[in-house]
Amino acid sequence: MGELNYSSMTHLKCSLTGEKFDADRPNRINPKTGKPLLAQYDLDLASRTLTKNSLIERPENMWRYREVLPIRDKKNIISLGEGYTPLLRSEHLGDYLGMKDLWIKDEGVNPTGSFKARGLATAVSRAHELGIKAITMPSAGNAAGAMAAYASKAGIGANVFMPKDVPLANRIECEAYGANVTLIDGLITDCGNASAKAAEKHEFFDISTMKEPYRVEGKKTMAYEIIEQMNWLVPDVIIYPTGGGTGIVGIWKAIYEMQELGLIKNKKPILISVQAAGCAPIFEAFSSGEKYAKEFKNPKTIASGMRVPAAIGDFLVLEAIRESGGCVTTVSDESMIDSVRFIAKMEGIFAAPEGASTFSALKKLLDTGFITKDMSVVLMNTGSGLKYLDVMKSLSNTV
């Protein structure tokens, strides 16, 4: 039986209405509803070659799951070696908390230092495959660096709109990769407006979070990896820091795909979303039982990736959390910094504030009893603390 050339993608589907769109045209969102489009696959076809045995022989990067990624032809993949990051048993943190099954998925070792490499590798590869010559996006930090890096490798023009207070490392790396960087005196939403205007004026393709279909596809590979690395056992709980929410949407999408592919049984993980206390629109919507989140006024947090006052995929994030039996919690900036320090000291992982927030949330939910010590729990460290040295130095003399 011959293998697929690469992808089993069939079409794009509106996440709200189910309306179908041609996957081989440069679509972004459903123009009628303004909601995200999600890639759909022939999972029966994919299951013939994407098996536990076939994965044993494949390269240790995220493209090992090629059948359920959107790139049609291998030659169009723009890769810097992203994915298949370590899943590390956290023995010292576990001992401290009285837990025997605690893990950290360390995305900080990805190219450009964060999980954003997954989504942007996929989005830029697909843009390259579709013949797009210039792209634009707003970013509070790590996504911009990843986009600039992959665009550079692809020979695609990169345009980035960032808040003026973005961490220095993120701005410098974008400039080093050759991106056109515009600093905006405002929030990520203001950057989004500026990016959209530039896209219309100059015919750039805007790859903002959840406003194109493919970043979520790269992010979902985190779930494939976690479960494969746990010898095909589904963890009880995954704790994830949330800004735009693409990671949670991707993880939940992957769980359903893996079940249809026959890679896992019916068990699903409980999803815990962590937001910064100073920017918590998903938390407020979850707490009040709303389907959509209201824009969070005057957002403020050192965790730039969590400073997202409004997310286009809010209803998908909330749907995934509720369906999983999970919850949304908030943590303070001070707690994040304490957790950065503690994780580094105990496990040798220098986590970004966003990633460290998951440990703060775990302690909080153990205290309330929502999580119990006998559960298997995966903390998602979404990036490296090395990107945040200027931010953390201003808050602490000991980090």
Residue 368 lies in a domain: yes
Query: Per this entry, what is the length of the chain?
Result: 399
Are 22 and 166 within one domain? no
Buried b (16+ CB within 10 A) or exposed e, 136-145: bbbbbbbbbb
Residue type, 184: I
Are 140 and 180 within one domain? yes
Are 230 and 197 within one domain? no
The distance in angstroms from the start CA to the end CA of the chain is 55
Which of these, 251, 138, 244, lies nearest to 184 by C-alpha position? 138
Tokens 């931010």 correspond to: 391
Are 235 and 201 within one domain? no
Are 71 and 91 within one domain? no
For residue 199, what is the domain's CATH number? 3.40.50.1100
Which of these, 127, 111, 93, 50, lies nearest to 239 by C-alpha position? 93
What is the side-by-side order of every strand in the sheet holding 20-21? 20-21, 9-14, 37-41
Residue 190 lies in a domain: yes
Cβ-Cβ contacts under 8 Å for 168 (sequence gap 6 or more)? 390
Are 224 and 171 within one domain? no
Are 158 and 134 within one domain? yes
DSSP symbol at 83: -
Query: 107: domain range?
Result: 87-113+213-395
Are 278 and 376 within one domain? yes
Total tally of structural domains belonging to the chain: 3
Are 286 and 253 within one domain? yes
Cβ-Cβ contacts under 8 Å for 167 (sequence gap 6 or more)? 141, 304, 387, 388, 390, 391
Tokens 């095909």 correspond to: 232
pLDDT along the chain (399 residues), means of 10: 72 98 97 97 97 96 98 97 98 98 98 97 98 94 94 97 88 95 91 93 93 97 98 98 96 98 96 98 98 95 92 96 98 96 97 97 98 98 92 60
Tokens 């990624």 correspond to: 69
Residue type, 342: F
Residue 81 lies in a domain: no
Listed residues 206, 231, 260: the one ending a domain: 206
Distance (Å, whole) CA 265 – CA 284: 33
Please calculate the CA angle 191-110-87 and round it to the nearest 5 degrees: 125
Distance (Å, whole) CA 270 – CA 324: 5
Are 335 and 371 within one domain? yes
Residue 365 lies in a domain: yes
> Quick one: how far is CA 118 from the chain centroid?
8
Write out the H or E segment, with its range, that includes residue 377. Answer: strand 377-381
Given this model, what pLDDT does residue 165 score? 85
Listed residues 172, 187, 206: the one ending a domain: 206
The CA-atom distances, in angstroms, between 66 and each of 56, 61, 131 are 14, 10, 20
Write out the H or E segment, with its range, that includes residue 367. Answer: helix 353-368
Are 55 and 172 within one domain? no
Residue 219 lies in a domain: yes
Are 16 and 151 within one domain? no
User: For the segment 116-137, what is each residue's pLDDT rounded down to a tens digit?
Assistant: 999 999 999 999 999 999 999 9
Phi, psi of 128 (to 5 degrees): -60, -45
User: Are the C-beta atoms of residues 327 and 374 closer than 8 Å to each other?
Assistant: no
Residue 129 lies in a domain: yes
Residue 1 lies in a domain: no
Query: What is the DSSP code string of 243-289?
Result: SS-HHHHHHHHHHHHHHHHTSS-S--PEEEEEEETTB-HHHHHHHTT
R_g over Cα of the chain: 20
User: Are the C-beta atoms of residues 394 and 334 closer than 8 Å to each other?
Assistant: no
Q: Is 395 exposed, middle or buried (0-12, 13-18, 19+ CB in 10 A)?
A: middle
Residue 4 lies in a domain: no
